[in-house]
Structure 1
């Protein structure tokens, strides 16, 4: 992010501490809240935040670590995307209790936004000025899962959860700087046009996520299905972005969102993969900047 940044902790509804970073004036009348994807942290958004903060100086930007990720706590609640939507509601209640809201979500973060919208339609209607859904899906993810991730649903995943520390130790012996490992990560997460230094940075970010977190979220992502719960976004400017070479949430997921959210705009980026905020931060940032430039509507307070 761009400074000065403030780091705080927001308690989720079940008490789980959520690490939150904010940039911009505390009295801003508009706040952009960004939710990152599976196995990442709020740092994923840094290239985008820097651009947005420069272009919209009066905007407050909030990026937080999802539970079990980064500086946030693990908690004891059963994991689900709906739970992540409730976490987002708590972050909003603490960091933007009044004023207008913009939302951006990547991958699991986009699913978080969909869960939030389904659970709090009145907040979406009264306060949300725009939503950016980046490399994400409304459901039916298992159909497209690459082979390695498919294996995490079965015996491999169960084995990892029995001894995650040993697996993390083995992963440390195979850092993303090893060419073969980096190449596998590149094929899974990035498009062929992505610069090597960007691939290295993205692979390192995934590598730092504990294997237990990666495996534990697989059932929650499989169960995610908001394909019939998109109505709350019908009156909101929605921008959907996807890369042509996204292997985790392929373009069919983005097309579904664009076709089933009235007025949603779809941008397909040739040669890009799943990590759009790293691969093409200019396009992601310009999308958010354009949403921030729109006129807001009436105000309301967010329920705690």
Structure 2
């Protein structure tokens, strides 16, 4: 056998190994999804209150592109007056996009009126934002991306940060890396269904601990064309777990379920695999030291199977200015499943975290809405 034949054979063997890794990871994801699903009693309701809901509402808002320090374009949307006394910036979670805050955008726009400007963006590799080198798919980089968004969209004035799941880790990463901005610019932070360190103890850990994940990461980095041809594997790698754990055991709107699954299925496999690893190894507990300086809201579900309430309780215990809200009966996507609870908590939290002048104005707006 010639040297060229040996090289070709090795190449075929490596490619087969990568594909086997993806197949193995898919099998593990499916098995873990089944085990999670067995612990839930989710019922999709026939009477769908959101049948006619426009879940693309954010696309009609003012749009911008913020380019990160390493050149990745981030899709950004803005609603509310540009000269509002307060800016609230939302960071979404893993395998989602800014639309995950659909109900918050709809309700809080009316609730806050012209007193608050809201900024939403897609994390790198998600939604309409650009993909990036695989090595940059880290929680540390997400904190730096958030700083890029803040520098362009909110260079002045008080800011409240809101993060769901991986977005909460983004907030913690930002707090660790830019502590000087707390509480001078960042006056409050809300962490929804999140965790300060690796989530290997959740059912997701069944995937994270599998050697096939490392094989898939290797394929993503060194055989991207091969992985692209198996793009459909993205759905079966993690979707069974996310789908089963996203919602609780209450009746769920099929339109909301379809919307969240569309976000998950639209996530590129490179983004999915690399950030899976990032979620396993991240440790942003140092960010909690910074958040001690500001009021903090922590929201979780009592039986969240991805980021259990123990993670939230540990964060709350470390933060003297924290308020812990445990939502019964909801799943990991609590802001989509029980938006009223989350919205009310955010309204009250912003009043607590912002200057007294804004508190008074916000309360008057809310009273007018109630009377109307």
- Shorter-chain TM-score tier: 0.7 to 0.9
Task: State the match for 2:228 in structure 1.
Answer: 165
Q: Is 1:275 matched up with 2:338?
A: no
Q: 1:191 aligns with which of 242, 248, 252?
A: 248
Change over 3 Å in CA distance of 1:185–1:224 after alignment to 2: closer
Aligned pair count reads 291
> Which of 281, 286, 291 is 2:344 aligned to?
286
- Aligned in 2, Cα 1:128/1:170: closer, same or farther, shift over 3 Å? closer
Q: Which residue of 1 aligns with 2:51?
A: none
1:107 maps to what in 2?
A: 165
Uncovered stretches (5+) of structure 1, i.e. residues with no partner: 175-180, 299-304
Relative to the length of structure 1, the TM-score reads: 0.87
Aligned to 1:29: 85
Paired residue secondary structure (1:242): strand
What SS class does the counterpart of residue 293 from structure 2 fall into?
coil
> Could you report, residue by residue, the CA deviation over 1:130-188 in whole angstroms, capped at 9, with x for unpaired residues?
2110000000312224334544634455557643323224668x8xxxxxx98765423
Q: Give the alignment partner of residue 287 of structure 2, picking from 211, 220, 229.
A: 229
Instruction: Call closer, same or farther: CA 1:54–1:170 in 2, change over 3 Å.
Output: same
Matched, 1:11 2:74: no
Which is helix-richer, 1 or 2? 2
Q: Flag the 1:189–1:138 CA change in 2: closer, same or farther, 3 A.
A: same
TM-aligned CA distance change 1:184 to 1:259, over 3 Å: closer
**Inter-CA distance 222–236: structure 2 relative to 1 (3 Å threshold):** same
Q: Contact between 1:5 and 1:23, CA under 8 Å: does it hold in 2? A: yes
Separation in structure 1 between the aligned mates of residue 220 and residue 59 of structure 2, nearest angstrom: 39
Flag the 1:148–1:21 CA change in 2: closer, same or farther, 3 A: same
Q: TM-score, structure 2 length as denominator?
A: 0.72
Q: Which moved more, 1:12-21 or 1:159-168?
A: 159-168
Give secondary structure in 1 for the equivalent of 2:100. helix
1:68 paired with 2:125, answer yes
State the superposition RMSD in angstroms: 2.4
Aligned CA distance change for structure 1 residues 291 and 91 (closer, same or farther; 3 Å): same
CA 1:13–1:145 in structure 2 vs 1: closer, same or farther (change >3 Å)? farther
Partner of 2:16: none
Q: Distance in 2 between matches of 1:104 and 1:155?
A: 34
Cα distance in 1, alignment partners of residues 180 and 306 from structure 2? 31
1:54 to 101, 110, 129: 110
Candidates 39, 44, 61, aligned match of 2:95: 39
Structure 2: tracts of 5 or more residues without a match = 1-56, 357-372
1:36–1:45 contact (8 Å) kept in structure 2:
yes
Q: Distance in 1 between matches of 2:165 and 2:194?
A: 4
Larger radius of gyration between Structure 1 and Structure 2: 2
